[in-house]
């Protein structure tokens, strides 16, 4: 199968470099433009299913993709973003000041098992995503877009490739990006990573969010 891992378009939290987890915020005007560009990209591809996180920013992005194909959207709770707990809406300097011990652990070798203050760990996210990965691996020749979030996308890549979760820092998944995997059973091949070529030329060359 071909699996397209899509990160939602820009929100105000992404634009302003604020921590974003379960806050149910909408896309900015720029984010809506990015979602439309994703829709135009997928209009030229074969696509059998669109799965999405229930959070608004992901559903808006998924709607732009599915709408071009006349597909319904399959909302999946397991695609919710990492619960960042008390760090929701924080700038990094605030995080450093209020939670120095957490930040030191998060930046260390055991980051996958470190829970966000009042929230989840990457290991928690991986546990709820594992059944979905098995489901995707059993979809045969289908082409599926999964629209979600930064940490969810990173964890899905690690699970599909059999990488340790600590590898999440080894690749970028910018807003409105597409990462493409070819799955054959439990084997996976990356054919593109953090692809933003569907966006305007200036924007696609500069990381965001």
Active centre residues (catalytic): 8, 81
Q: Which two tokens stand for residue 110?
A: 């055991």
Q: Give the CA count within 13 Å in the CB-facing half-sphere of 88.
A: 14
Give the list of residues 6+ apart from residue 136 with CB closer than 8 angstroms, or none. 1, 3, 144, 146, 160, 183
Question: In degrees, to the nearest 5, what angle opens at C-alpha 150 toward C-alphas 85 and 24?
Answer: 50
The answer to whether 102 and 117 are in contact (CB under 8 A) is yes
Q: Which two tokens stand for residue 121?
A: 């760990």
Question: In degrees, to the nearest 5, what angle opens at C-alpha 26 toward C-alphas 23 and 29?
Answer: 145
Buried b (16+ CB within 10 A) or exposed e, 83-118: bbbebbebeeeebeeebeebbeebeeeebbebbbbe
């Amino acid at each position: 199968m071909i699996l397209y891992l899509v990160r939602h378009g820009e929100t105000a939290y992404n634009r302003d470099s604020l921590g974003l987890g379960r806050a149910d915020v909408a896309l900015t005007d720029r984010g809506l433009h990015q979602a439309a560009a994703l829709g135009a990209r997928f209009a030229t591809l074969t696509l059998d299913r669109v799965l999405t996180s229930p959070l608004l920013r992901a559903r808006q992005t998924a709607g732009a993709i599915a709408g071009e194909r006349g597909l319904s959207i399959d909302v999946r709770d397991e695609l919710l973003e990492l619960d960042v707990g008390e760090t929701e809406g924080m700038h990094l300097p605030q995080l450093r000041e209020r939670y120095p011990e957490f930040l030191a652990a998060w930046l260390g070798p055991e980051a996958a098992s470190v829970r966000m203050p009042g929230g989840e760990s990457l290991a928690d996210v991986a546990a709820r995503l594992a059944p979905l990965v098995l489901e995707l691996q059993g979809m045969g020749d289908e082409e599926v877009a999964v629209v979600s979030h930064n940490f969810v996308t990173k964890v899905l890549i690690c699970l599909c490739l059999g990488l340790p979760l600590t590898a999440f820092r080894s690749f970028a998944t910018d807003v409105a990006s597409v990462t493409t995997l070819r799955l054959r059973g439990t084997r996976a091949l990356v054919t593109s990573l953090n692809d933003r070529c569907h966006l305007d030329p200036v924007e696609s060359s500069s990381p965001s969010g």
